[in-house]
Amino acid sequence: MRAAEWLIDPAIAYLNHGGYGALPQPVAEAAALVRADVEANPTDAMTRQWQGRVDDVRSRVAALLRGTADNLVFVPNATAGTAAVISSLGLAPGDEVVATDHRYPAVASQLGVAARRGVHIIETHVPVDIASPADIVAAVTAIVGPRTRLIVLDHVASPTGFVFPVRELVTAAHAAGVPVLVDAAHAPGQIDVDLGAIGADFWVGNLHKWVCSPRACAVMHVAPQWHDTIRPLVASDGYADGFQPAFDWTGTFDAVPLLAVPAALDFFAALGWPEVRRHQHALVTAGAESVADALGTEVAIADAFTAAMRLVRLPVTCTVTACSVVSRPASCAASSTDSGRGSSIRRIAAVNSSRIATRVPSSSATCRAPSVTSAR
């Protein structure tokens, strides 16, 4: 990958690829052609050709993620996908949703909306220095109870870059009879996803982050048994016609990002996904080690739980309140951190001495490890 293939300003060392993605030059050019094609006859593109074009993109994305096209729909972004799932489930007062303290703020807000209706949100602490997938499974399943209606997990967590063992977690959750929503905003492209093997009920991933489609475009997988339940927040023409019709058209929008996804897939296919991922991991690891060396600290998360984003400890300590659930919430006296009138978000609190860390992301558009100077 050459820096010249990207639109990033060459004067800056752009290190936040995970934030919003970035556009490779060939994908930008392909998207411009798609736009010209759509604009040549908007009615034809958005009406007569629409279903065929969406279905073509769906097949390409299904192949990337090793999923079944029938289970996939597109949403503008991961936020829209997780919101659609959480709001479609008909969670009732007294129901419980289990999450971890790695969850993204938008998901926390969505769970907060449910909490205002009397749903109990229980967050468990997953330490970044956890040793094995089995320990993570134990931390999450320990707080599943008879009222648990949903477990919400990250695939690749935003603040830490921690790659969760979602397959093992889904297996354990299903053994307990609980469906799983995976916030996989960072997963497509960054890691090799096998939706069939993961078996999650709901899985939502952005295509504009690590697949580098134009912003904004995301894909959502919904297992067949939930097709009658999950609907978008916005009802439009196809809402009553079933799962895919309801999501395939939610009103007029900019179709170019979605229709340009195949160009982004072609760009990375030509480079070879395994090679791209190997390169990104090596690059970010070298960068993180270089930053850690300069700071006199260490890279915080074991290699096995990382991909293209790494966490580096900062040379400061502070006392924080970490979330740690050790038993059923009802039996925990000092449990509740309530976030508002009528809400019920419980974080079982334990005061920990914890060091502060910062995320160092790899960037598809960055060909060298970040210099220590730029990281300071």
| Interface residue list for ligand PLP (CB under 6 A) | 77-79, 104, 106, 154, 158, 183, 185-186, 206
* Smallest separation, CB 262 to ligand PLP (Å): 20
Structure tokens given for 5: 């293939």
Q: How far apart are CA 261 and CA 278, in angstroms?
A: 22
Judging by DSSP bridges, how do beta strands 349-361 and 309-323 pair with one another? antiparallel
CB nearer ligand PLP, residue 183 or residue 201: 183
Name all contacts of 244-252 with Cβ < 8 Å and 24+ positions apart.
244/70, 244/73, 247/73, 247/74, 247/75, 247/220, 248/50, 248/51, 248/54, 248/73, 248/74, 249/50, 252/46
Query: Residue-wise over 281-301: b if at least 16 C-beta within 10 A, else e?
Result: bebbbebbbbbbeebebebbb
How far, in whole angstroms, is CA 133 from its chain's centroid? 19
Whole-angstrom distance, CA of residue 249 vs CA of residue 253: 9
The DSSP code for 76 is: S
Q: Where are the alpha helices (DSSP H) in 44-77?
A: 50-65
| Least distance in angstroms from the C-beta of 216 to ligand PLP | 6
Q: How far is the CB of 192 from ligand PLP (least distance, A)?
A: 18
3-class SS at 212?
coil
Q: How far is the CB of 109 from ligand PLP (least distance, A)?
A: 11
Nearest distance from C-beta of residue 78 to ligand PLP, angstroms: 4
Least distance from C-beta 114 to ligand PLP, angstroms?
Answer: 17
Nearest to 95 by CA among 121, 77, 74: 121
Q: Which is nearer to ligand PLP, 186 or 277 (CB)?
A: 186
CB hemisphere CA count around 43 (13 angstroms) = 0
Both tokens assigned to 205: 């991933």
Q: Kindly tell me which of 95 and 154 has the beta carbon lying closer to ligand PLP.
A: 154
Which CB, 101 or 154, lies closer to ligand PLP?
154
Nearer to ligand PLP, 84 or 170 (CB): 84
Distance of closest approach, residue 77 Cβ to ligand PLP, in angstroms? 3
- Given the complex with ligand PLP, which of 154 and 201 has the nearer CB atom? 154
Angle formed at CA 323 by CA 320 and CA 325, multiple of 5 degrees: 145
Note whether 101 and 126 are within 8 A (CB): yes
Nearest distance from C-beta of residue 211 to ligand PLP, angstroms: 12
Q: For residues 255, 259, 265 and 268, what is the CA-based torsion angle, rounded to 10 degrees?
A: -70
Q: Where are the beta strands (DSSP E) in the chain?
A: 72-75, 96-100, 120-124, 148-154, 180-183, 202-206, 218-222, 309-323, 345-347, 349-361
The residue among 77 and 285 lying less far from ligand PLP, judged by its C-beta, is: 77
Minimum CB separation from ligand PLP for residue 75, in Å?
9
Q: Of 100 and 366, which has the nearer Cβ to ligand PLP?
A: 100
**Contact, 203 vs 184, CB < 8 A?**
yes
